[in-house]
Amino acid sequence: MRPAFFFSPILIHLNIMFDTVLLPLSLRESSALLERIVTALKAFGAREIVLLHVRSGPVAASNKTKLEERASAISEPNLRCRTLVRSGSVASTVALTAAEQGCDLIAFPWRRKSWIQRSLVGSVTKDIVRLSDLPVFVYKQARSSTHPVGAASAPSEARTIMYATDFQDSDRVVIPYLRSSSRSAGDLLLIHVGERAPDPAAEGRRIARVQADLDRLAEECRESGATVRTHSVVGRPRSAIVRQAYRNSVGVLVIGKADSERAITTMLGSTAEAIAYNAPCSVLIVPRTPHTEARHGV
């Protein structure tokens, strides 16, 4: 079991400010897990947490009571907590409720499902990532010792925040956060994953261009004194980003998300959905939508 204190420094360093956070609960979460998530959300600057329980059928009175108990357990003087119970499809109800309640972030714990479970009932994680226009934080407990993210022996490595950039709109939303967070952050890794250019000469130009852009972003983040590393990788983003998260013992992975109307994406799911599901660490997905940009004054 991962120690409760382990996750919080990463988010304190990340220092992303989200006032109101929607936290959907299945009510199967342990109180220790809930405590760790709330600690993480406080690090994001949460001042209000909306606990939501969604049932596909009628909601039993006992569930409402359980939710109230959870709310009282996590309430603090600086952290208001209220509860909501809804019935309907989990993912769409979460997305709708978040918008309706004026939330800044949807956060939820990630639960591993077997291949058969995923095939039969799908993945709520992926559905929420797909449906929401708000930033989504997928909280994950670290994998076993084969993946050093959560290994107690490597706490410094585990403090790495990795931002996978494509040098597009999400930079404008994410970089200010990274910059403010990096004052005390241990390690910030900026990576870019792209396809190889068609020939060696063009590839040389591509590599130089990518490195220049990474250096520019790194410089912006270094202004606050953080240790910033950059890395350029060739490959498919959905697999290469996850691989880099493993290799670099990443604590929090930050990625952008753009809605695509391509039929193949609709069928196979977006890169962000796949990364959110497969990454070995917690993932913050920042959508590149007018909604997000307006909300964050970009």
| Residues binding other proteins (CB under 8 A) | 164, 166-168, 192-203, 205-207, 209-210, 213, 232, 234, 237-238, 241, 255-260, 265, 270-273, 275, 288
Query: To the nearest whole angstrom, how small is the minimum distance from the Cβ of residue 273 to other proteins?
Result: 8
User: 109, exposed or middle or buried, with CB in 10 Å at 0-12, 13-18, 19+?
Assistant: buried
Which lies closer to other proteins via its Cβ, residue 257 or residue 296? 257
Cβ atoms of 25 and 106 closer than 8 Å: no
Shortest reach from residue 83's CB to other proteins, in Å: 32
Residues 189 and 207: their CA atoms lie apart, in Å, by: 17
Q: For residue 115, give the amino acid letter.
A: W
In the bound state with other proteins, the residue whose beta carbon lies nearer, of 93 and 270, is: 270
Of 149 and 272, CB closest to other proteins: 272
- Closer CB to other proteins, residue 168 or residue 184? 168
Secondary structure letter of residue 260 according to DSSP? -
Residue 281 beta carbon to other proteins: minimum distance, rounded to whole angstroms: 15
User: Least distance in Å: CB of 198 to other proteins?
Assistant: 3
User: What dihedral angle (degrees, nearest 10) is formed by the CA atoms of 166, 239, 138, 46?
Assistant: -30
Burial of 231-264, coded b for 16+ CB within 10 Å and e otherwise, reads bbbeeebbebbbebbbebbbbbbbbbbeeeeeee
Whether the Cβ atoms of residue 25 and residue 53 lie closer than 8 Å to each other: yes
| Cβ-based nearer residue to other proteins, 80 or 206 | 206
Nearer to other proteins, 71 or 193 (CB): 193
For residue 291, what are its two tokens? 């909604």
CB of 222 to other proteins, least distance (A): 20
Please report, as a single letter, which amino acid is at residue 91: A
Closest approach of other proteins to the CB of residue 110, in Å: 18
